[in-house]
Amino acid sequence: MDRRIVIVTGGNSGVGFETIRVRSYVFTVLEHPHDLHAQVLLLRNAKVYMAARASAKTTAALAALHESTGRTAHHVPLDLASLESVKRAADDFMSREHELHLLFNNAAVMIPPVEQLTPDGYDLQWGTNVLGHFYLTRLLLPALERGAKSAPDAHARVVTSSSNGTYVGKLWPETWRDSDARRRKRSYELYFQSKLGASIISRQGALRWASKGIVCIAANPGMVDSDLYRHDRFARGVLSFVLNPPSLGALPQLYAGTMPEALKHSGEFFVPFARLVAHKSDVYDDAVGRLVWDWLEEQIAAHEGRPEP
C-alpha cells in the first residue's frame, strides 16, 4: 500500500475505524497465516483520509489511530446526508490530492426514526447510504481514474459496504424522497432498501467504469457490535452474543480493497470473512440498475443546477 491514497467514509467508528487501523492483525495471523498482506492502510504506509462528520468522536478516533499505529490519518469533514457537504468534501480532498486509489464507501445510518429526512428532503437512509455515496464517488471519479493510471496494479477500487439485508430489501422509488408511502414504511425496511441500493450501484459502477480501470466491489462486514445499533439498543443487547468485533467486520472490505485476487471480482460481493457469494437477483437486473442510476444522476443534476442527463 506504499503511497496509495485511501478514503474511508465513516472511519471514525466501528468497521471503518478498524479498516484504517489494523487491530484485526492478530485474528488474521491465527486464521489466515498466508494472508498477512491483506492487513493494510496505516501500518502499510497508505495515506488515509477519514471522511467523517467533524465531532469530538472524530477527533478522538484520529488520536486513537495515531496512538495505536504511530501514523496520522487525515480528516476530510463529510456529512453524507447533505449534498452540499459532499461537494465540499470532494473539493477539499481534490485540493489536497491529485489521485485516489481506494475509496471505502463504508458509512451508514441504520433505522433512525422514520420521520428523519436529509436537509435536501430525501429519506435519511437512502439519502445518506446511497445518494450521498453515489455523489461522492461521481465527484471523485477523475481522481480515481488518475489513481488507476498510477497504481502498480493499474486499478483503483471502490468498496461499498452492503449487508445481508440486501436479500430481503425491496426498492420503492416513491420512498426515496419524503412521501406518504415512505412514512408508512418501517425504518428497517428503508435500511434494507438502502443496502440493496448500495449493492446495485456497486455492480453498475463495475460495469460502467471497467474501461477506466476502476474496480467496484460490495462487502458485507457481517453482524458487528458497533454504533450502528445506536437507534436500537435493545437489538444490540439481544444480539450481543452473536455480534463480532469490528476488527473482524473489516476483513471482507479490506480483502476487496487490497488483495490482488480481488481485482478479478469487480461487481461481486464479499461476505465474512472474505468469501464470495452471489448478490440478490435484483442486483443483476440491469433495467433495475438503470432506474436507480438514472434517478441518482437526476438528483445530482438538479442539485448542481444542470439540465437532467
List, by residue number, the catalytic residues: 162, 191, 195
Question: Measured from the CB of residue 162, what is the shortest distance to ligand NAP in angstroms?
Answer: 7
Is residue 228 involved in binding ligand NAP (CB under 6 A)? yes
Angle of CA points 158, 236, 162, to nearest 5°: 15
| Residue selected from 223, 259, 263, 271 as contacting ligand NAP according to rule CB under 6 A | 223
The DSSP code sequence of 148-159 is: HHHSTTS-EEEE
Q: How far is the CB of 194 from ligand NAP (least distance, A)?
A: 8
Q: How far is 279 from 257, CA to CA, in rounded Å?
A: 18
Using Cβ positions, the residue closest to ligand NAP within the complex turns out to be 14
| Site for ligand NAP, residues 242 to 261, rule: CB under 6 A | 246
Should residue 16 be labelled a site residue for ligand NAP when binding is judged by CB under 6 A? yes
Distances (CA, A) of 238 to 186, 222, 227: 20, 16, 15
Q: Does the protein bind ligand NAP through residue 296 (CB under 6 A)?
A: no
Identity of the residue, 90 or 107, whose beta carbon is nearer to ligand NAP in the bound complex: 107
Q: Is 98 helix (H, G, I), strand (E, B) or coil?
A: coil
Residue 198 contacts by C-beta under 8 Å, 6 or more apart in sequence? 105, 129, 130, 133, 160, 161, 162, 166, 218
Q: What single-letter amino acid sits at 30? A: L
- Binding piece for ligand NAP, criterion CB under 6 A, among 76-84, 141-149, 201-209, 287-295: 76-84
**Shortest Å, Cβ 279 to ligand NAP:** 14
Cβ contacts of 153 within 8 Å, gap of 6 or more = 260, 263
Cell of 66: 495515531
Nearer to ligand NAP, 125 or 204 (CB): 125
Yes or no: say if 41 and 22 are a contact pair by the CB < 8 Å rule. Answer: yes
Give the shortest CB-199-to-ligand NAP separation in angstroms: 11
Per-residue x/- track, 157-186, ligand NAP (CB under 6 A) = ----x-x-----------------------
Q: 79: which 3 cell numbers?
A: 456529512
d(CA 282, CA 33): 36
Q: Judged by CB under 6 A, does residue 220 bind ligand NAP?
A: yes
Regarding 87 and contact with ligand NAP (CB under 6 A), the answer is: no
Q: Could you tell me which stretch among 37-45, 87-95, 223-231, 283-291 binds ligand NAP (CB under 6 A)?
A: 223-231
Cis peptide, bond prior to residue 93, ω within 30 of zero: no
For ligand NAP, the closer of residues 161 and 204 by Cβ is 161
From candidates 13, 125, 187, 193, binder to ligand NAP by CB under 6 A: 13
Collapsed DSSP state (helix, strand, coil) of residue 113: coil
User: Distance (Å, rounded) from C-alpha 10 to C-alpha 131?
Assistant: 15
Q: How far is the CB of 309 from ligand NAP (least distance, A)?
A: 25
Which residues ranging from 101 to 120 are in contact with ligand NAP (CB under 6 A)?
106-110
Contact between 189 and ligand NAP per CB under 6 A: no
Contact 160, 219 (CB under 8 A): yes
Minimum Å distance from CB 33 to ligand NAP?
26
Cα separations in angstroms, 15 against 8, 66, 266, 271, 302? 10, 17, 21, 14, 33
The contact set with ligand NAP (CB under 6 A) reads 10, 12-16, 52-53, 55, 57, 78-81, 106-110, 128, 161, 163, 220-221, 223-224, 226-228, 246
